[in-house]
Every structure is written in structure tokens, then in C-alpha cells.
Structure 1
Amino acid sequence: MSAAKRRRSEDQFLCSICLDVFTDPVSTSCGHNYCKTCITHHWDVNVPYMCPMCKKVFKKRPKLNINTFISEMVADFRREAQQKASSSSSEQQAAKPGEVPCDVCTGTKVKALKSCLVCLTSYCETHLEPHLTAPRLKKHQLFKPVENLEGRMCRQHDKPLELFCKTDQMYICVHCPVLEHRTHEFVPLKEEYERKKAELGKTEAEIQQMIQKRREKIEELKQSVRISKEGADREIAAGVQVFTALKESVGRGLIQLIKEIDEQQETTEQQAEGFITELEQEISELRKRSTEVEQLSHSEDHLHLLQSFSSLKAAAPTKDWTEVRVCPPSYEGTVVSAVAQVEETLSKQMKKLFEAELKRVQQFAVDVTLDPDTA
């Protein structure tokens, strides 16, 4: 059955007074059907007695009897509608945590599609259909499903909260201004909603501005860190360069110190070795002379001893070593002199470093003067 046919079938079983499915349907003599309670209440408050549909006037109040045929059809329609609703609910997924469930569903509660402020009920897609088709129910105020619909009603007058009291800063119904708030300033809820929404827009803009300022501050801090890192890297590079130069200077000074001491020691050793060589040669000559003297002293040849005595008695050609000495060189002050040389080199390096730093500071001052933001 198409949706249009189904709606036409439903309309046939709707009371034109309450716009709901018949309850104890009765028929008038003009052929129109109503709920017994609805038409009875209508004739209790309205005189003359008239049919609400065709406006036919009855001279006296008609006697009403239950229309059993329509009552049975309504009962069948209710059963079919309930079965369709149950089947549709079972096919739909149950409301998840945080979602508003349908108040009409029995068993599995399906997610509500809309809430009615008049009925104070939330409806799923299936149970919302009467509000979309019945003329009287179409006038009800539907909105996004919410929980605690009772909280949207005035507890004192049981009416929807449709006004905002600016004096007491509270939400009120249409009856409250007549009684408790008659001297207060109040506006429609929609007007206060628009005003508050505008304030929220302004607040959101202010928040976004605050966020933007803080993002700018973050970038400023990051830029400061980058500048600090660049400065630190430059100083480390300069420090490595200076201390490397100092280290090399100290190393060269140490090498020079060792070289000077070694040279002096080598000179002393060479001088001593020359004397020792010469002394050893004289010792060799003297030993040779001693051997000749000893041999001559044992000779029994009188003439030979006398002839050789004069030549052996003569003084040997030797050197007087009494005043000959090797004086060790004095190393005192050598280390001090080398350290003084390193100190002089360090002083020169410090002077160069100071001059370079002074130039950098002067350039920075010029940059600040020309472009403060960039500097």
C-alpha cells in the first residue's frame, strides 16, 4: 500500500474534533462520525446542537449510540497500526547512549526524530507521522528531540515557557505576566534567544581573537627560542674557534719548550762526548807507553835499557784536563718564558674577540634603530 493510500485510510478513522483515532465512535443522523466523548462535550458547551462537519442544526439533542461497524473497523485499524509500529521499531536500531528515545515505542526504544512541546512527548519516525498528516497535530510545535520536556513547561500554570522576564532573568509562560510578573519587563523567548545568540556570536569572536593573540604569542616565543638558538650556536662556534686556537698555541708552546731543552741537552752531550773521546785516546796512548816501560824494566840488556830510557822518560804528549769541565745548562725560567709567550698569544686572541663582539653589538644597535620590529 502506498503512503498516500495509507494516510487516506488513517484519515477515515480520525475524529474531526480531537483529530485522533475514534474512541467509542458514534454517528449523527446526518451521517458524520465522532468520538462519543468529543461530540458530547461539544454539545455540552455549544447551543444550538449542530454537526461540526456539515453545520446541520438539530432541534433537540440527538440520542447517540455506538456505531459497532465503525468500532470494529477502528479496532482492526488499531491492531494493524500497532503491528506496523512494532515491525517498524524492530527494523530500526535502538536509541544509543546519549540519544533521546521515543516515548511511544514499547519494548525496544527507537531513537526519537522530533519532540513535541504541546504533547511533551518525543517521537520516532513511525510515531511522528500523525503530527505530519493530521491537520490539528500539524499546529503543534516540533523541534530537535530533547530530554526532560517537563522542564520546558511552567510548573505553576502547566504552559510552555514562551516568554523571558528581563526583570527576574527567568523564563515564564503566557499566564505569568498577568499574575506574578505583571509589572515586569518581558519579551518573547525568540527575541531573547536572538539577543543571546548575538551575544554568543560576539563572545565567539572575542574568544577567536584571544586564540589568535595566543597563537601569535606562541610564534613570538618560538621566534625568541630560534633567535636564542642561533645566538648560542654562533657563540659556541666562536668559542670553539678561540679555544681551538688557544689549544694549538699551547701545543706549539709546549713543542717549542721541549725543542729548546732538547737542543741544549744535545749540545751538552755532544761536548761531553768530544771530551770523552779525546780522553779515551790519551788513555790508550798511556797504556801503550806503560806496556813499553814495563817491558823495558824487565830487560837484562844493559845497553838497550840505557838507550831506550831517554825516549821513554820524556813526557807523553798529553793534555792538561785540570780546568776542563762540562757545565750543565740552566733550564730555570724556560717554562716561565714559554707560559709568558702563551699568555701573550691569549691576550691577543682576547683582544680580537672583544673587538668582534663590540662590532656585533654596534651593528645590533643600528638594526634596532632602523627596524625595531625586525630587531
Structure 2
Amino acid sequence: MAFSNKVRVEDLITCVICQELFDDPRLLSCSHTYCRKCIEQTASANKDQFECPLHDGNKILEKDTGSLPLNQGIRELVELYGSTQRSNLCTNCRLVVAEYACDTCKNEKFCSECYETVHTSPVMQKHQRLPTSQELPEMPPCEKHPRKQLEYWCYTCLTVICIDCLLLKHKDHKYTSIDGVTKEFETKININFQGIQSSLEYRIKQAEILINAVDNNSKSNQKKITNIMTLLRETIDEHEEAMRQQILTIEKEQKKQLEDYKTPLKHELQNLNIQKVTFEMLFSSKNYIKLLQTKQEFDDYVNKTNGTLKSLQMPSRTEYYLEELGQLQFIQEKIKQCGRYVEVPPYHNAQLEKLIAENGKKTDT
């Protein structure tokens, strides 16, 4: 089992920044772990700020790196991995992982080359070579019976015992061999690990589904806001333009009526000026005969002009106002109340909730 999980174990205890085994592993709030020196060096090179390399948005200032908690579990795993690796080295050269044990050379393990070197003599060649995978672990001596090795597990007392313990103090207790209880424990713990893994994977999957649902809900609501606000702006712009055009049309009509009234007045004013200048020239020249001869013309002009002025009616000016414009303030307040982001009341499905709960219990056991 240890060899099959080797890559996974090394992945767990290797810092993704320096690609070395963790040295003083520090835990970030995002649950990712890095060497303290890697965090400090990265922060120093990045304006005194460290951002999680896994791009989860977690940032920390260099001055706060010392307060990051030690990842005790990872540190202990690194130490265990190191001691396991050292214990698996060839006891002769201490350079290569041991491949063989010897039925006679106790507490010795050899790589292929060292085994041949050590066992060159005829006497040593009689020793039996054993693959390390078949090597039986050496049991420590019993504290109460130092001449006996610990070989059994007492279920009643939940402790390891030797043969003398079994025959004396534990003679009526339920027991088994250490090898047997170890295999039993391995089977049980692997089943438990698998159950926890299944539960975690299920819950992570459910969390991812909910994250996607939250994301989709957010995008959907944002799209609704964009669409309705775009429509509202278009409606407001169109209505504003329509109101302006109505005002401009009425303004144009009223001005035209007044211009139509003013134009003949200006024409009459010009005629008046001509008549005045003509009269003044005749009068100033003291040509009274000519002046009296044109008297009838002046009288006709005055009568005609007065008649024209009486016939011209001043257009009435109609004043307009914007009806219901005060409602816009009320509408403005109503708009502010529209689209409030409120929680949807939970929908309870007892049968579905029961199935989910039962599934969680199954994966937890």
C-alpha cells in the first residue's frame, strides 16, 4: 500500500513553489500550504505581498507571514516520510533503497549489489535471500517478560502482549496475532477511509453544483437587470425625445402664427415710413400747392391703413405645461424599490431531504 501511494504522498508533502519537501509548512486561510521561506521570498519580490499561486484570490502581506499557522499535519507527514525513507535504505551503503533481507543477518537490509558483496564467502552464501516485501517485522520485547517478543493483541485489554502474558494474565481473554489484527485494522481503516473519501467527494461535488447554481443565478439576474434597465433607458429616451418634439412642434406653430401676424405689420411700417418721408419733403420744401394736391392720397392711406390694422387680429398665445411631470419623482422612488435582491423562501421536500441525509450517513460510515 505504501508504494502504490508514493506519488500521492510526495505530492502532499511537496511545495509547489520550490518543488522540494515542505520546510516549515505554513497554512493559508484558503487551506493551501507553502514553505514559510517561499511565502516570504515571493512576497518580497512582489511588492511585499504574497498571492496564492493557485489563483484562488487569497493574498497576504509579507509582515503577516510570521502569523500564519504551522501546518502540523503536513510537518509530521514530512518527518514520517523521511524516517520511512531512511529505514528503507540499504544498511550497508546507505545510498540505495534496500531490496533484500537475510534470514540470518538480523536487522540488516541490502540493495542488490551490497547483498552479493556481503554474501561472497561460502558461509554467507548459505544464508537465504528474502525480498523486503516478505520480511517479517521484528517485534520489540515485552516489558514484563523481556525474553519474550510481543506477538499478540488482546481484544479485552486493547494492548499488545507476549506468549507469557497470554498464558498468565490474559489467559481467558480474546486475542489474535499482531499480524492478524494489523490486517484486520488495515481492512477496517481502508473501508473507513473510503467512506470518508466518498462522503468528501460527494459533498465537494454538491458544493460545486451549488457554486455553479449561484454563478448561474447571479448571471441570470444580472442579465435581467441589464435587459430591463436597457429597456427602461430606451423608454425614457424615447419619451424624452417625444416630449421635446411635441414642445418644438407647438413652438414652431406658435412662432409661425406670430410671424404671419408680424410680416404685414412690418410691410405697413415700411409704407408708413415712405408716406412720412414724402410728407416731410413736401412740407419742408414749402411746396404747399403740391402738398394740398396730394392731401387726398394721404387721407386715403391713413384710412386704408387703419382699416388694415383693424382687420389684423393679434394671435392668442396659448401657454402649455408638462402634465404629470411631478409623478416622475414618485416613479424615481418606485424604481429604487424595484429589483431588490431578496432570498427565495426554501422549498422543503421531505422525501428528497431524507434521501440526501441517508446518502450522507452511508458515506460517513
- TM tier, shorter chain? 0.5 to 0.7
In structure 2, the residue matched to 1:83 is: none
> Given the alignment, which residue of 185, 190, 198 partners 2:173?
185
**Structure 1 contact 165–187 (Cα < 8 Å) conserved:** yes
**Structure 1 contact 254–338 (Cα < 8 Å) conserved:** no
Establish whether residue 160 from structure 1 lines up as the match of residue 149 from structure 2: yes
CA RMSD of aligned residues (A): 4.8
SS of structure 1 residue aligned to 2:108: strand
Structure 1 residue 313: Cα displacement: 3.5
**Structure 1 contact 257–335 (Cα < 8 Å) conserved:** no
Establish whether residue 289 from structure 1 lines up as the match of residue 275 from structure 2: yes
In structure 1, the residue matched to 2:51 is: none
SS of structure 2 residue aligned to 1:185: coil
For 1:302 and 1:176, locate their aligned partners in 2 and report how far apart those are by CA, in whole Å. 165
> Given the alignment, which residue of 142, 160, 170 partners 1:171?
160
Deviations 1:60-118 (A, max 9, x none): xxxxxxxxxxxxxxxxxxxxxxxxxxxxxxxxxxxx8443553xx5xx55766556788
> Given the alignment, which residue of 211, 218, 223 partners 1:237?
223
SS of structure 2 residue aligned to 1:289: helix
For 1:171 and 1:128, locate their aligned partners in 2 and report how far apart those are by CA, in whole Å. 36
**Structure 2 contact 156–175 (Cα < 8 Å) conserved:** no
In structure 2, the residue matched to 1:332 is: 321
Q: Where does 1:260-339 land on structure 2 (aligned, <5 Å)?
A: 260-299=246-285, 303-314=289-300, 315-318=302-305, 319-320=308-309, 324-325=313-314, 327-334=316-323, 336=325, 339=328
**Structure 2 contact 99–131 (Cα < 8 Å) conserved:** no
| Alignment length (residue pairs) | 251
CA spacing shift, 1:181–1:231, aligned 2, 3 Å = same
Deviations 1:344-363 (A, max 9, x none): xx99xx9xx9xxxxxxx9xx
CA spacing shift, 1:176–1:120, aligned 2, 3 Å = farther
Deviations 1:264-309 (A, max 9, x none): 2112221222222111111111111112222332455564443333
In structure 2, the residue matched to 1:21 is: none
Structure 1 residue 310: Cα displacement: 3.2
Could you list the runs of 5+ residues in structure 1 that have no partner in the other structure?
A: 1-95, 354-360
**Structure 1 contact 117–142 (Cα < 8 Å) conserved:** no
SS of structure 1 residue aligned to 2:232: helix
TM-score scaled by structure 1?
Answer: 0.51
In structure 1, the residue matched to 2:82 is: none
Could you list the runs of 5+ residues in structure 2 that have no partner in the other structure?
A: 1-84, 356-365
**Structure 1 contact 164–171 (Cα < 8 Å) conserved:** yes
Structure 1 residue 256: Cα displacement: 1.1
CA spacing shift, 1:226–1:321, aligned 2, 3 Å = farther
* Percent of matched pairs sharing the same residue: 15
In structure 1, the residue matched to 2:205 is: 219
For 2:151 and 2:208, locate their aligned partners in 1 and report how far apart those are by CA, in whole Å. 52
CA spacing shift, 1:331–1:280, aligned 2, 3 Å = same
Structure 1 residue 249: Cα displacement: 1.1
Structure 1 residue 205: Cα displacement: 1.2
**Structure 2 contact 141–149 (Cα < 8 Å) conserved:** yes
For 1:198 and 1:238, locate their aligned partners in 2 and report how far apart those are by CA, in whole Å. 59
TM-score scaled by structure 2?
Answer: 0.52
Which of 1 and 2 has greater Rg? 1
Structure 1 residue 221: Cα displacement: 1.8
Deviations 1:212-245 (A, max 9, x none): 1221121112222223333333333233222222
CA spacing shift, 1:187–1:287, aligned 2, 3 Å = closer
For 1:298 and 1:233, locate their aligned partners in 2 and report how far apart those are by CA, in whole Å. 92
For 1:265 and 1:122, locate their aligned partners in 2 and report how far apart those are by CA, in whole Å. 111
SS of structure 2 residue aligned to 1:320: helix
For 1:261 and 1:309, locate their aligned partners in 2 and report how far apart those are by CA, in whole Å. 51
